């Protein structure tokens, strides 16, 4: 296990009409490697291509968490500030949404 936490990036591919992205990181020598969906490859042509940027962000999140496996976890309780742009939601609706999101991984 390396002490370095990898910098895992979403890289835009495709075009304006058909935006896509791939997931990449630097290997031990800082050469780019690309996520295939199950492993890393140096061949960008083998990279998994995402049409949905939100899905790609969640996969990136999961890959990053997997790279941290075996490290100690420290949790802290802190105040939480939430900014909502748009119409003000009902407090009960916000509470339900927050309770639903706390278990998302």
Q: What is the percent of the chain with per-residue pLDDT over 70, rounded to a whole number? A: 93
For the sheet containing 32-35, what is the strand order? 8-14, 19-26, 32-35, 40-41
Number of domains in the chain: 1
pLDDT at position 45 is 97
**Would 99 be classed as within a structural domain?**
no
Question: Does 105 have pLDDT greater than 60?
Answer: no
Question: Is 105 a member of any domain?
Answer: no
Residue 54 domain boundaries: 8-67
81 pLDDT higher than 90: no
pLDDT, greater one: 5 or 23: 23
Q: How far apart are CA 2 and CA 38, in angstroms?
A: 20
């Amino acid at each position: 296990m390396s002490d370095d936490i990898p910098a895992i990036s979403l890289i835009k591919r495709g075009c304006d009409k058909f935006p896509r992205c791939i997931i990449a990181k630097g290997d031990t020598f800082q050469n780019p490697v690309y996520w295939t969906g199950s492993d890393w490859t140096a061949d960008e042509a083998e990279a998994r291509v995402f049409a949905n940027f939100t899905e790609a962000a969640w996969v990136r999140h999961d890959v990053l968490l997997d790279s941290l496996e075996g490290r100690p976890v420290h949790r802290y309780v802190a105040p939480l500030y939430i900014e909502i742009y748009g119409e003000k939601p009902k407090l009960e609706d916000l509470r339900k949404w927050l309770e639903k999101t706390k278990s998302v991984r």
